[in-house]
Each structure stands twice: as structure tokens, then as C-alpha cells.
A and B are shown apart, each in its own frame.
Chain A
Amino acid sequence: KAGVTQTPRYLIKTRGQQVTLSCSPISGHRSVSWYQQTPGQGLQFLFEYFSETQRNKGNFPGRFSGRQFSNSRSEMNVSTLELGDSALYLCASSQAIDDTDTQYFGPGTRLTVL
């Protein structure tokens, strides 16, 4: 079974631009969560999508948004990029059947904002 894949793996953008990151979950997984990891703030939960609906949201500004498609693939978008958005963005998928589910993480997308 293929693991969680994220594209692109590396990205360089400039301030003010917008960016879209993609996450393909493990086949059969319906939940996709996104996390941001920075040296300053550490690992932080961004949001979770389940069956094309945002189920949970972390404490991030509205510039951060996401969506999930019918095949469970998810994208997250960051508009008006700031230097502080430079981070490793991780996505994780799970079957989301019950509380015994395990989240499987992708390798991440390294975003650099110049």
C-alpha cells in the first residue's frame, strides 16, 4: 500500500505570493490533517478534513485554508505569504473509523518564503 504523499517536496516563494500544497492520503483513508512545523513555534495543528468537510481547525489566520476532494486528496492554500510562513508542512491521513485509528504522516513540504 502506498504511503501518504505530499507534493511538492520543496517550494520557494516570495512574500505576498500564494501557495498550494497537495496531500494524497493512503488509499481508503478518509481523514486528512495538516500541521505546520517551525523552529519558533514547533509543531502546530492547522486543520482536519473528513469527507470533504473541515472537521477541526487550529488557531491560524484565515490566510490558511484547505479543502478535500471526493477522492480524499487534500490541498492547503496559504495566501499573501509572510516570512513566518516558512515551515515544514506535514499532512497525515487516517481511516477515521474510531478512536483506535492511527495517523500516518507524509514526508512533508518544505516551504521557504523569501
Chain B
Amino acid sequence: AQKVTQAQTEISVVEKEDVTLDCVYETRDTTYYLFWYKQPPSGELVFLIRRNSFDEQNEISGRYSWNFQKSTSSFNFTITASQVVDSAVYFCALSEVKSGGSYIPTFGRGTSLIVHP
């Protein structure tokens, strides 16, 4: 069975601080996808990134960066110079690989990030 653990329930930082959200996963599949989503107070989930298990390259997108380490089954997410608008619940998810853009994600419990001005 697949499992995603986000050990940090809530993180509170002051604006401009860097913050890392941890994600550890378990799966017996050799190929899989990892995701990060953002859920602002409005409730709508926003897709941030998808990473194939074959691709261990780290990725940077503006202030966001992701560190994928297969050896430790971790897929951590760092926000650099955090802003108040980053306040949200962030979910890490894992999905087996299925064809045709089909996913069956298993989600972590989420990390609530609060950025104070």
C-alpha cells in the first residue's frame, strides 16, 4: 500500500524567511509520480508540481524549489523568501503510474503554512 507522511502539521514563519515542507513516502512500485498541491483558504486545490520517479533532478520555479531523493523516499518543498500569500495548506501526494494522464493519488495529511507579515 502507498503512504505519504507529512510530519509537520503546522509551520509558522515571518515573511521573507525560507521554509521547507517535508514529505516522506512509501511505495512498492518502481515507477510512480509525486505531486505537491497548494490549498488556499478558498478551498480550491492548486497543482504545483509533478515528478516522475525516474527524474531525480531538483526543480526550481521562482521562489519554489523541490528536492527529490529516492534514496530516502523524500520529496521536500522549499519556499524561499516566503510571502503572506504563501499561507495555505500544502499537500504532498503519490500516485502509481497509469497511462493516458490517469492518476490515483494518495495524499499526505497536509502542512498548514502560516506566513506572518
Contact = CB atoms under 8 A, between A and B. Distances in A.
Interface of A: 31, 33, 42-45, 48, 50, 55-56, 58, 88, 90, 92, 94-108, 110
A79 B84 CA distance: 41
Nearest to B107: A43
Contact of A44 (B33, B43, B102, B107): B107
B46 A55 contact: no
A31 B102 CA distance: 8
A101 B105 CA distance: 14
Nearest to A97: B101
B101 A31 contact: yes
B101 A99 contact: yes
B42 A107 contact: yes
B13 interface: no
Given A103-B47, A107-B43, A42 B100 contact: no
* Size category of the binding interface on chain B: 20 to 34
Interface string B76-87: 000000000000
Consensus secondary structure, chain A interface: strand
Contacts of A42: 107-110
B110 A96 contact: no
The 4 closest A-B pairs by CB, nearest first: A101-B101, A43-B107, A96-B101, A105-B45
Contact of B100 (A43, A98, A106): A98
Given A105-B44, A107-B42, A108-B44, A94 B110 contact: no
A104 B101 contact: no
Contacts of A102: 47, 50
Most buried by A among B45, B108, B109: B45
A99 B104 CA distance: 13
Given A33-B103, A103-B47, 10 more contacts: A43-B107, A90-B43, A90-B45, A96-B102, A97-B100, A99-B97, A101-B101, A105-B46, A105-B47, A108-B44
